[in-house]
């Protein structure tokens, strides 16, 4: 699992650092059809990569394998596929791709993962760089009308915004959910809601985080917001308010959800199954809640 449980939550950010680049400097050159993105819709970090792949029009260039939402301590598995095997890689567990390259791989098996199809080996699971490189390294293969997810004019500020979103919101909900003491939880709760209030204020005067167009920053925030009421509000005790009670963030989240690439890659059943069934230390009964009603995501957002 990508976290360490003590009194305070700390995310393990030690990933395989290889990158797929135009010049192939790490031994993995950009090559259409060669690589498979393995990414579960249950996982927010993996869903980022699925969304960016679609926004940029890379579906015919990088194939997609999708594990199911429930995994054990050993690996993500392909129970959604016929026979329980990924149809391209021919494996039952994502771990098989990891050990094909690193026979004694010592860390958790995480998604997203880029796998080299000819060898069946993991290339990288370094999730921030995967979407970065989809934009910069695979640009020759983007569709003609692909959005500029890293606009040069705001890139420096965007990096700061994304870092704040990562530490305080993407990780902030986990910091609340896996706090080991009351004091650690209350500190995490205050940090999260300080950031949520900052976002609510920022989005009062602009359609998206960086202005009038969707950027990578929006993708990174969206996957947390999409899980907020369904999981984080109750399961992780992030319960000062629901997302639906924050007018600017809620309108913004629906605006993105109703944009191709976002809502169609958001599976609330898989999301709830993953958090409520896998994280048995937080939810020992394994009971998965029936709500909330996903149809509220299709109501008018008023941000056009």
The beta strands (E) that lie in 39-117 are given as 63-65, 113-116
174 has catalytic annotation: yes
Q: Is 129 within any annotated ligand binding site? A: no
- Region class of 83: left (phi > 0), else alpha (psi between -120 and 50), else beta: left
**Token couple for 173:** 């909900």
CA distance 149 to 54: 12
Write phi, then psi, for 113 (nearest 5 degrees).
-140, 135
Q: Which of 35, 98, 174, 185 is catalytic?
A: 174
Dist CA 110 CA 45 (whole Å):
9
Q: Which of 3, 15, 35, 43 is catalytic?
A: 43
For strand 113-116 and strand 121-124, is the pairing parallel, antiparallel, or unpaired? antiparallel
CB atoms under 10 Å from CB of 269, counted, come to 13
300: left (phi over 0), alpha (psi -120 to 50) or beta: beta
Active site residue 98: no
Q: What is the CA radius of gyration of the chain?
A: 19
Q: Which residue pairs from 169-175 have beta carbons closer than 8 angstroms and sit at least 24 positions apart in sequence?
A: 169/195, 169/196, 169/199, 169/221, 169/224, 170/44, 170/220, 170/221, 170/223, 170/224, 171/9, 171/11, 173/224, 173/227, 173/228, 173/232, 173/236, 173/238, 174/3, 174/9, 174/11, 174/236, 175/8, 175/9
Annotated binding site for glutathione: 76
Residues carrying an active site annotation: 43, 174
């Amino acid at each position: 699992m990508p976290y360490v449980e003590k009194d305070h939550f700390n995310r393990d950010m030690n990933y395989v650092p290889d990158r797929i680049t135009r010049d192939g400097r790490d031994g993995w050159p950009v090559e259409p059809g060669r690589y498979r993105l393995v990414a579960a819709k249950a996982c927010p970090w993996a869903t980022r990569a699925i969304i960016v792949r679609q926004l940029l029009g890379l579906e015919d260039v990088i194939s997609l394998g999708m594990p199911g939402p429930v995994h054990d301590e050993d690996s993500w598995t392909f129970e959604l596929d016929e026979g329980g095997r990924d149809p391209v890689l021919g494996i039952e567990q994502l771990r098989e791709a990891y050990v094909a390259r690193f026979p004694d791989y010592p860390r958790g098996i995480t998604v997203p993962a880029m796998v080299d199809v000819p060898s069946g080996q993991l290339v990288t699971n370094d999730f921030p760089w995967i979407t970065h490189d989809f934009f910069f390294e695979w640009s020759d293969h983007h569709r003609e009308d692909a959005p500029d997810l890293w606009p040069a004019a705001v890139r420096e500020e965007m990096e700061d915004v994304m870092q704040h979103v990562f530490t305080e919101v993407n990780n902030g909900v986990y910091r609340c959910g896996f706090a080991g003491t009351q004091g650690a939880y209350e500190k995490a709760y205050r940090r999260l809601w300080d950031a949520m209030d900052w976002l609510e204020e920022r989005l009062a005067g602009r359609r998206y985080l960086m202005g009038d167009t969707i950027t990578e920053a929006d993708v990174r925030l969206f996957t947390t917001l999409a899980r907020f009421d369904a999981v984080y509000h109750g399961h992780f005790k992030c319960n000062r308010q629901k997302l639906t009670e924050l007018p600017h963030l809620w309108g913004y989240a629906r605006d993105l959800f109703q944009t191709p690439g976002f809502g169609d890659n958001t599976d609330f059943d898989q999301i709830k199954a993953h958090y409520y069934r896998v994280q048995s230390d937080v939810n020992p009964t394994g009971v998965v809640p029936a709500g909330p009603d996903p149809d509220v995501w299709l109501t008018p957002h008023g941000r056009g």
